[in-house]
Chain A
Amino acid sequence: MIELTTDTIDVARVIEAVRSPKAGAVVLFLGTARESTGGRAVRSLEYEAYDAMARAELARLEAQARATWDLVDCAIVHRLGEVAVGQTSVAIAVSAAHREGAFEAGRWLIDRIKEVVPIWKKENRADGSADWVHPMIDLPGA
């Protein structure tokens, strides 16, 4: 299951999407909006996606994870638009026969999402400033 949504992520629904009698383990990862970055207070995060490609990349990652760890099921939901501090920005649930594969697949999925899925985050700060977060780029004036 792959979803991009501007709505609040229903974490229970993400877990239920992967629960199965074939599974002995379900692992859930949540990314949540932190209240500060680099000592600066954050009011909210704002996510933008290249929608079609993000879905395609997520589907490729899901397929690769299913094949590598013999997953029973996999669900990835990423939030777009404004996400208030404390709210969930991404939820990843995987189920597998045994916990080792579920933990490894969950860890691998969030790491790869942060490398290849075309989704970007902007930090809206408490002081009114806002910047896109781009690992590897030092923006002039940022």
Chain B
Amino acid sequence: MRIRVRLFAVARQAAGTDSVEIELPEGADIGQLRRAMAAGVPGLGAIVDQLRFAVDEEFAGDGTKIPPTADIACIPPVSGG
């Protein structure tokens, strides 16, 4: 399956784009996505351990299976306030 991942802040800056498309096997989980992004997206390798991910606007751990049509986002450490 091919999923689109939204990028924000430093992740967007590092990748030079506000979203990337990543090819993953059906039933892949967030941990696999994390590793695929570290390997495939320039600039993300150095910060990949600090990134969180969201599935349909909720934080999702590395064990979460990725639904094929879900809205996926990469969430660097937040700094609002």
Interface residues of A (CB under 8 A from B): 31, 47-50, 52-54, 56, 78, 89-90, 110, 113-122, 132-137, 139-140
Contacts and interface: CB of A to CB of B under 8 A. Distances in A.
Interface majority SS on A: helix, strand, loop or mixed? mixed
Nearest to B75: A118
A114 B79 contact: yes
A50 B54 contact: yes
Interface stretch (B6-14, B24-32, B33-41, B62-70): B6-14
Contacts of B73: 50, 53, 118
Interface in B41-75: 46-47, 50, 54, 57-59, 73, 75
A120 to B, nearest CB: 4
Nearest to A115: B78
Interface majority SS on B: helix, strand, loop or mixed? mixed
Given A52-B57, A114-B79, A117-B80, A137 B6 contact: no
B81 A134 contact: no
20 contacts: A50-B57, A50-B73, A53-B58, A89-B81, A90-B81, A113-B81, A116-B59, A118-B8, A118-B54, A118-B78, A120-B8, A120-B10, A120-B80, A132-B9, A132-B10, A133-B79, A134-B9, A134-B76, A139-B10, A139-B47
Given A50-B73, A53-B54, A140-B46, A134 B6 contact: no
A137 B81 contact: no
A116 B52 CA distance: 10
B80 A132 contact: no
B57 A134 contact: no
A114 B50 contact: no
A104 B6 CA distance: 35
